[in-house]
């Protein structure tokens, strides 16, 4: 496979992980996967050193010096997006490079640059959850998905905040070399390979951290390690010394879903991880994740993930992958 040229666009006060996260994924893929070669460069409007929001300075190439065509254009996000999306030279070069690139992507608030350049018109897109409403208001012609980790619409990919850029880039590697190759890169980087771009920006465990009351927080911390216990509403209500009605009301108010929905999501996330990272039988996984039977787990997969445990493993499992020494 021919080398693929990747340009990562940055600007003053960009977030460092929006730039380095994709670079590390592309670099790891180049070193690990037979036949994979990504040639990356970091670019900015004027070139030269660019100071990121964390205080680290990047060495960059001027956008005007980037030779077309490139394969992939990635636009980072950052703090001063008002200034970046008002930079006429930046937008002109982004449009120019996007016109000949095979695909265009943004990390976090980099979606605002793509939107200002007119590249998201009529498309689905996402950005950091805290900026989704602003993106939708500023660019009503863009269909903003506030939940997704990343969105793929045609030749344009957009991702949620910061570390979601790594998930997005793993998806780009999967698009080029297959899901198993991307899984090998994820293992090397010691990160989870996201199950799909449609997974919520907040995992079940992260969403649970927002609970305010101590009893609910303690319960939420206890749940992932006790998936085979009786996790019915009556049992959980007794554990926090509340009536079933009061428990259900408080839980929904603080976590955003019902107790039963939260428990099922926890069990699904645990099952997905085991399907992706082990060779355990589906029956065993269903049992250790607290599903009453494999059929129960199968119904949950179909209802929530639109797939089956077997198909999930075939698509995202981790069989041996030959790596470059």
Give me the phi and psi of 281, to 5 degrees please.
Answer: -65, 150
**What span, in angstroms and rounded, lies between the C-alpha atoms of 246 and 260?**
15
**What span, in angstroms and rounded, lies between the C-alpha atoms of 117 and 90?**
9
**What span, in angstroms and rounded, lies between the C-alpha atoms of 106 and 169?**
10
Active site residues: 108
């Amino acid at each position: 496979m021919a080398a693929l040229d990747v340009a990562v666009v940055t600007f003053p006060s960009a977030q460092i992980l929006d730039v380095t996260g994709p670079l590390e994924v592309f670099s790891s893929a180049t070193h690990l996967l037979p036949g994979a070669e990504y040639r990356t460069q970091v670019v900015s409007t004027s070139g030269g050193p660019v100071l990121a929001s964390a205080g680290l300075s990047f060495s960059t190439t001027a956008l005007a010096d980037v030779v077309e065509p490139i394969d992939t254009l990635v636009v980072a996000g950052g703090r001063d997006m008002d200034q970046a999306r008002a930079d006429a030279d930046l937008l002109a070069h982004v449009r120019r490079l996007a016109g000949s690139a095979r695909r265009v992507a943004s990390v976090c608030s980099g979606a605002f640059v793509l939107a200002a350049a007119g590249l998201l018109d009529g498309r689905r897109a996402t950005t950091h959850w805290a900026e989704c409403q602003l993106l939708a208001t500023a660019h009503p012609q863009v269909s903003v998905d506030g939940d997704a980790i990343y969105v793929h619409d045609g030749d344009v990919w957009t991702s949620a905040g910061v570390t979601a850029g790594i998930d997005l880039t793993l998806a780009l590697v999967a698009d080029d070399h297959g899901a198993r190759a991307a899984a090998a890169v994820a293992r090397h980087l010691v990160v989870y390979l996201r199950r799909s771009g449609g997974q919520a920006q907040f995992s079940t465990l992260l969403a649970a951290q927002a609970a305010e009351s101590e009893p609910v927080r303690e319960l939420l911390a206890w749940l992932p390690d006790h998936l085979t216990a009786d996790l019915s509403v009556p049992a959980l209500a007794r554990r926090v010394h509340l009536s079933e009605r009061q428990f259900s009301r408080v839980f929904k108010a603080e976590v955003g879903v019902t107790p039963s929905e939260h428990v099922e999501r926890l069990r699904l996330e645990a099952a997905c991880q085991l399907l992706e990272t082990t060779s355990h039988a589906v029956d065993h996984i269903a049992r250790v994740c607290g599903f009453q039977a494999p059929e129960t787990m199968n119904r949950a997969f179909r209802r929530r993930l639109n797939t089956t445990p077997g198909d999930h493993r075939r698509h995202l499992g981790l069989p041996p992958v030959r790596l470059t020494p």
